[in-house]
């Protein structure tokens, strides 16, 4: 898996993506996350990457040509799926992360200022992605969030597949509560079933808690959930009965 990130601040990307789990995965050669400075492709000696917008308005707009030349260098004449991180994009979620995982190589474009020249978007961008309905100072944080979400699913990054398939959003539900030592913390006990050693009961409890948490905290997700088997139907009947 190779992810190229086009940015004005490559040091910011490297400071995060070279650390922890993703950093170790890069050291092993399992994934590659490379930040490239757009200013390196500017056409003037001052490495200018932005200018005032046509039509007036506040702020600056990133120039199309440095973006295009940087993109061309990274794509090397081939079509590489390209994502612009934008507050106007489609919401990023686990399903989109899985779609990007299927691509061997993709490019993330970080905007800044008031945005980037629309002509570059029309020429080179395949899709726009947003990490939420809010505005940040640049696309670096969203790009790192997307890269992290995708890279952690690459085989060899985490110990095994269950490390991410059992987490929130993989199957449309939130994850069950987690506990560790001590058994009693400030008068709060670990649920007895987790100490029982009874695997089937523990798994049933985790599924029930996952469904209950999703219904309580994310009713929008719960409304879309479809029971996977008889166990799910039984748990849902229990939850509905408790609420009557």
DSSP string, 1-51: -EEEEEES-HHHHHHHHTSHHHHHHHHHTS-EEEEEEGGGG-SSTT---EE
Cα distances from 140 to residues 11, 33, 36, 87, 130, in angstroms, run 10, 13, 12, 13, 12
The DSSP code for 195 is: G
**Mean pLDDT to the nearest integer, 192-216:** 96
Task: Fold for 166-242, please state it.
Answer: 1.10.1270
Task: Of 10-24, 112-126, 163-177, give the lowest mean pLDDT range.
Answer: 163-177
Where along the chain do the CATH 1.10.1270.20 domains lie? 166-242
- Confirm whether residue 131 is marked as ligand binding: yes
Average pLDDT, the chain: 94
**Mean pLDDT to the nearest integer, 31-36:** 98
- Confirm whether residue 134 is marked as ligand binding: yes
Taking the C-alpha atoms of residue 238 and residue 223, their distance in angstroms, rounded to an integer, is 17
Where along the chain do the CATH 3.40.1280.10 domains lie? 2-151
Cα distances from 224 to residues 153, 211, 220, 221, 234, in angstroms, run 24, 12, 7, 5, 18
The predicted pLDDT at position 140 comes to 98
- Confirm whether residue 59 is marked as ligand binding: no
The CATH class of 2-151 is: alpha beta
Query: pTM value?
Result: 0.87
Burial 134-161 (b: 16+ CB within 10 A, else e): eeeebbbbbbbbbbbbbbbbeeebeeee
- Confirm whether residue 133 is marked as ligand binding: yes
- Confirm whether residue 51 is marked as ligand binding: no
- Confirm whether residue 108 is marked as ligand binding: no
- Confirm whether residue 13 is marked as ligand binding: no
Taking the C-alpha atoms of residue 34 and residue 147, their distance in angstroms, rounded to an integer, is 10
pLDDT in tens, 58-99: 899 999 999 999 999 999 989 999 999 999 999 999 999 999
């Amino acid at each position: 898996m190779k992810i190229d990130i086009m940015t004005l601040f490559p040091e910011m990307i490297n400071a995060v993506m070279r650390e922890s789990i993703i950093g170790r995965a890069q050291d092993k050669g399992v994934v590659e996350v490379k930040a490239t400075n757009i200013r390196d492709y500017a056409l003037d000696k001052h490495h200018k990457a932005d200018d005032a917008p046509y039509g007036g308005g506040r702020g600056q707009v990133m120039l199309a040509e440095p973006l295009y030349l940087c993109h061309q260098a990274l794509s090397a004449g081939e079509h590489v799926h390209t994502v612009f991180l934008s507050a106007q994009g489609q919401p990023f979620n686990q399903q989109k992360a899985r779609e990007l995982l299927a691509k061997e190589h993709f490019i993330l474009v970080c905007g800044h200022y008031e945005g980037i020249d629309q002509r570059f978007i029309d020429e080179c961008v395949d899709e726009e992605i947003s990490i939420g309905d809010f505005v940040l100072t640049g696309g670096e944080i969203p790009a790192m969030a997307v890269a992290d979400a995708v890279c952690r699913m690459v085989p060899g990054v985490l110990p095994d597949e269950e490390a991410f398939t059992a987490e929130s959003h993989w199957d449309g539900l939130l994850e069950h509560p987690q506990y560790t030592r001590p058994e009693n913390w400030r008068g709060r006990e670990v649920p007895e079933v987790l100490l029982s050693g009874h695997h089937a009961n523990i798994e049933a409890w985790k599924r029930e808690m996952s469904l209950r948490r999703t219904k309580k905290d994310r009713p929008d997700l719960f409304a879309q959930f479809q029971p996977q088997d008889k166990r799910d139907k039984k748990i849902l009947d229990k939850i509905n009965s408790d609420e009557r």
